[in-house]
Structure 1
Amino acid sequence: MNFDLPADMAALKEATADFATRRLTEEAEAFERSGEFAYDLIRAMGETGLFGAPFPEDLGGSAAGFLAVSVIAEEVSRIAPAYGYAMNMQCATCPYTIYNWGSPAQVERFVPGLIAGESIGMFALSEAGGGSDPAGAMRTTARREGDHYVLNGSKMWITFSHAADVGVLFARTDPKAEPAHRGISAFIVEPKRFEGYTAQPIDLPGLSKSLRSCEIFLDDFKVPVENRLGDEGEGFKIAMNALEYGRLTVSARLTGIAQAALDASVAYANERFVGGGPIARHQLVQERIADATVAVEAARLMAYRIGWTMDQGRVSTRVASRAKYFATQAARLAGDVAREVFGGNALAAEYPVQRLNAYIDMLTVGEGSENVQRILIGEDALGIKDATRHTMRNRFVGAG
């Protein structure tokens, strides 16, 4: 068993880091100052091939696989945390869901533009009152009228929705369905094509002012019938399947941010002199750095394991839930260690500690909070519910 990255993955990791350093740091500052959506940089990520790893070449992808997705998401997030969001919206949860569940016409129409960064994607499942039960608590409705559906309701915490050209959105088509999840359907929405769609950015201190999360309001918003994804009532299955791919990217993103926090702590501990020597010589600082180092390395191995499992075409629910949960723990530890090592300077804007912790806080909730993962992991470990009981759709050409 070889735990080293294959040579092509190691080269991909280096190339991604080089691109992110050159394009996603200094150039991003202009977009942050203006608050303008960074279309140019998302397009550059697409042109570089960062979004195409799990897609076939005839759609513009590279067929590199999901281990490659994990490697890319980690490196982008380590260097430019805000742009890690694009790995969900332009690769995993939006276009891959369309690729996985869409008709050939839907795939051909929407996927190439998303992975090229030419169109902006979103994934709209969460609602303000939904919590950990997106099906039972879903209030957004879709009523069929002839050749289209009419959608009404709202969605919460939807990243890129203020700029989105294409999105996967879930709504209730059968309010009387029992159990409730059988009444949920999935749709490919086009916010700029039809009226009745509004996205209101949420003010999130410490996070990007360019790449935003928003609340969406739908007021008689139309979706053509040919834009329904899958059959009516199949939306819950599609959503749960999509979240598996989201947990891959979020686990890798948390690992990358945790590594950035650890790197900052190590550099500062060697530069900060107190009492005639660097604080790196203090045993308590060494202890905390050791704790974070081990946690981040373990999180990385678990994140890579999700990608490897998906590349084999295996059901990844168990490993994805465990990896997402542990990456949350590792990132929080690395963020706390950074606060302790930097002391009062952790609050200063010139240092990255506050910013990194803001992204850690955000991602601990994404694709299922810690407590949601605890339930999944605990029920699986106790034999109450087998985490791998559901069939997982994976159209990746290398799967199996």
Structure 2
Amino acid sequence: MKKLFTNLTFWVLTAITVGALLGHFQPETAQKMQPLGKGFIDLVKLFINPIIFLTISLGISGMGDLKKVGKVGGKALLYFEVVTTFALVIGVAMAYLIRPGDGVVTAGMTGTGDVSKFQQEADKGFSWWEFLKNNLTIQVLIFSILFGIFLSKFNGKQRIVDGLTYLSKYVFKALHFVMLFAPIGAFGGMAFTIGKYGIKTLLPLGKLMLTVYLTMALFIFVVLYLVLRYYKVSIFKYLNYIREELLIVLGTSSSEAGLPSLMEKLERMGCSKPIVGLVVPAGYSFNLDGTTIYLSMATIFLAQVYGVELTLAQMFTIIGILMVTSKGAAGVTGSGFVVLASTLSAIKVIPIEGLALLLGVDRFMSEARAITNFIGNGVATIWIANNENDFDRAKMNYAFGHLEETEDIVEDNLRFLTEEENKKTNG
């Protein structure tokens, strides 16, 4: 029983349940919990770019072979394109098979929010310059690669490397401490979502929600299952290994909340530091499997709602547009909605006003998008690490077989921090 009450997974799951109950029975109070969820996400986001910089810089400087850096980067981008294309095709196929938009009445269903702001963003069109300019993660990724290359060629690099290694250790220690507040963040995020939008919002578009969740599950347990099976890695053991991070992402509806912790766990299960540092941050912007599925399904859904029969040429146009614009979903203001508005504006056959139908339920589907994106980036890293023969299977077997020991690392880190502070105090 004592072990249960010191288990972070237990507390995150409890917090999500309590938040949902509060949102349903006391919606006004629940909406006031938003700062808890947002504050936790903002706090974790502070760690993302420092961890990317430290991981990549140290990894490349110690790699020696700079050709391998370019090879891994190119292979990652190719993997992202192939897998997200599969996600697009599955999303379109499932939307046509289940037809969630049939029978939905648009009259009186205006949703919440203002569609005009998304139209304004969409009118600007997709710009790779804007995407790169607004995406700090990509900027840090590029700078870290260049700095790592500089370090690898710099004769006096050892002092800098030692300093960065020491800093890295304490950054991760601090992250472990912050993750103890994950239940509070999960509670705030879930309470606000249920409190503001309510369960009733789900009913008119319940078929769409079920279709989206079913398609995401199909993608994870068929496509990603086969991707990992190629290198004899069990997706079920992997999902069990990252269960705490998945619950945090579920509670906060943000893949960012679990990103730094995912990077550390991937290293612990056998992926090399440089590959984790390159693939995970790049995947955060270019490997958005869940977002891609949602965008394709939402487009077909709105076509069905308005009775628009898309031709084969229009379907290929939609897929082509989404293959480009979905890559910017993490870096454009308004995220997926702006990308969706851009797509609808480009094909000019589906009324953009249809976005109002999705505004009310979008928050409830963001959990599925975030979790699928999160799992997909981990799977991509494992696959590329194996493909590059840079994966320690013994570490994976140990990590999968000693989950309780892995969870105790947080407690050990806190004990380490306390001992260090005591040493300083006793001087």
TM-score, length basis structure 1: 0.28
Higher helix content, 1 or 2: 2
Q: When the two structures are superposed, what TM-score results if normalisation uses the length of structure 2?
A: 0.27
Structure with the bigger percentage of strand: 1
Q: Which has the higher contact order (CA 8 A, sep 6+)?
A: 2
**Bigger-Rg structure (1/2):** 2
